Amino acid sequence: MAAVDLATHPGHLARRLQQAHHLLWNTMVSEEITSPQFAVLNTLAAEPGLDQRTVGERVGLDRSTIAEVISRLGRRGLLDKVRDPQDGRRFLLRLTDDGVKAHRRLTVRTARMNQVFLAPLSPEEQTVFLDLIRRVADAAEGLRNPGEPLVAQG
């Protein structure tokens, strides 16, 4: 059996992209705050007071992963959980003052990192690339939600 060309395998390419992103993240953004943790901080900066389930949906993390991310951010003092006055079983999340400061600092660093990450592409290619990977990522969410069809768009 002949070897396959891994350059045509999206999963292989996605893993290589993720490795490059991880390296850039650790060297240019933070060794303490992970990219998923930043996504949670960013979501709460934009929409304070969301519940854990909604934050997980917004950032594309499953239930157990979002619970761990929120727990770690809480232990670091970057977010607070407040019981929902309308539903005592639910907690609403807000950034602390330290969380707001961390988000601001990380936002500047992620912008620089993204410039480096996308530097091999022209501005037009960057727009197309981001649109394409967003579409694939959005469609892949259907793998977790079997009721949603995986259909090509565009």
Looking at residues 117-132, what average pLDDT do you find? Answer: 97
Q: What is the pLDDT of residues 45-104, one digit of tens each?
A: 999 999 999 999 999 999 999 999 999 999 999 999 999 888 888 889 999 999 999 999
Least confident of 39-48, 109-118, 122-131, 141-150: 141-150
Phi, psi angle pair for 60, to nearest 5°: 75, 35
Residue 64: per-residue pLDDT:
92
Domain membership flag for residue 3: no
Looking at residues 14-28, what average pLDDT do you find? Answer: 96
Average pLDDT for the chain: 92
Domain membership flag for residue 23: yes
Crossing angle between the packed helical segments 52-59 and 63-75, to the nearest 10 degrees: 110
Residue 146: per-residue pLDDT:
54
- Check whether 25 has a pLDDT greater than 60: yes
Residue 39 belongs to domain with CATH number: 1.10.10.10
Domain membership flag for residue 32: yes
The domain of 124 spans 10-144
Residue 145: per-residue pLDDT:
58
Residue 136: per-residue pLDDT:
92
Q: How many domains does the chain have?
A: 1
Domain membership flag for residue 54: yes
Own/partner pairs, 46-52, CB within 8 angstroms, 24+ separation: 48/93, 48/94, 48/95, 49/92, 49/93, 49/94, 50/92, 50/93, 51/84, 51/90, 51/91, 51/92, 51/93, 52/91, 52/93
* Model pTM score: 0.86
Least confident of 26-30, 67-71, 97-101, 147-151: 147-151
How many whole angstroms from its chain centre is CA 122?
24
Pairing of strands 79-84, 50-51: unpaired
What sign does the CA torsion over 22, 23, 24, 25 have?
positive
- Report the C-alpha gap between 80 and 72 in whole angstroms: 11
